[in-house]
Amino acid sequence: MVTFVTTNPGKVHEAREYLDEPVEQRDFDYLEPQADELATVAAHGAREAYKQFQEPVIVDDSGLTIDALGGFPGPYSSYVEEHVCIERVWRLVSEEDNRSAAFRGVVAYCDGNPFAATPEPVDDGRRGQDLSAEKRDSATTDDQVADGAIPVKLFEGVVPGTIVAPRGDGGFGFDPIFEYDGKTFAEMETEEKNAISHRGRALAKFADWYEQADR
């Protein structure tokens, strides 16, 4: 059994579609660190949730990264959506030549045990905001154990796209200004979006590993 720590039942429903294992939802409120990377936020959440429940947990964090804005809003996506509004984000990006962006989702898994080193990023609990993906990938389980950190395994799903003027009535958040393959996410049916979404891609990677990994 895997416990998905989230307040959003929709995410749990989506996870069940990827995993053969039973997935249970639990709510748990913890302070999110201020960090430039979604992975840092998700890893912290997984550790806190594991400490709380003492059972295998997953936590996810996602957001929109805009290349011309140095990856902004990233982990600040929900704040920006609420307080700046997507129309103004579009206006900001419309002044740029490069309008490329990506939706990114990170699933963080923690069961208190170390993992065998794999090409997947393994969070070692010491990673600063500036640590590159390359260094992150080379972190080993031994480092983590020596460090006394609780190991967390990270799975990232990415959907590349382009920021456009708002179109479409569906979806939520930044969907109306994110275009993928000629359509904004808000112009897609839920099933169509879920089949390519960052969260789905991260969950699929997690499910692949979870079902065959020597945990």
175 is catalytic: no
| From 26-34, 60-68, 111-119, 140-148, span contacting ligand IMP (CB under 6 A) | 60-68
Tell me if 144 contacts ligand IMP by CB under 6 A. Answer: no
| Contact of 204 with 185, CB cutoff 8 Å | no
Tell me if 72 contacts ligand IMP by CB under 6 A. Answer: no
Residue selected from 4, 18, 103, 109 as contacting ligand IMP according to rule CB under 6 A: 103
Q: How far apart are CA 159 and CA 175, in angstroms?
A: 12
| From 21-29, 93-101, 112-120, 169-177, span contacting ligand IMP (CB under 6 A) | 169-177
Residue 40 or 62: which CB sits closer to ligand IMP?
62
DSSP 149: P
- Residues 81-100 interacting with ligand IMP (rule: CB under 6 A): 81
Tell me if 175 contacts ligand IMP by CB under 6 A. Answer: yes
The helix/strand/coil state of 97 is coil
Residue 131 or 158: which CB sits closer to ligand IMP?
158
Tell me if 71 contacts ligand IMP by CB under 6 A. Answer: no
Closest by CA to 84, choosing from 194, 174, 201, is 174
Tell me if 54 contacts ligand IMP by CB under 6 A. Answer: no
| Contact of 1 with 22, CB cutoff 8 Å | yes
Residue 10 or 112: which CB sits closer to ligand IMP?
10
- Sign of the Cα torsion 211, 54, 198, 18 reads positive
Closest by CA to 84, choosing from 99, 109, 96, 66, is 66
Tell me if 40 contacts ligand IMP by CB under 6 A. Answer: no
DSSP 74: G
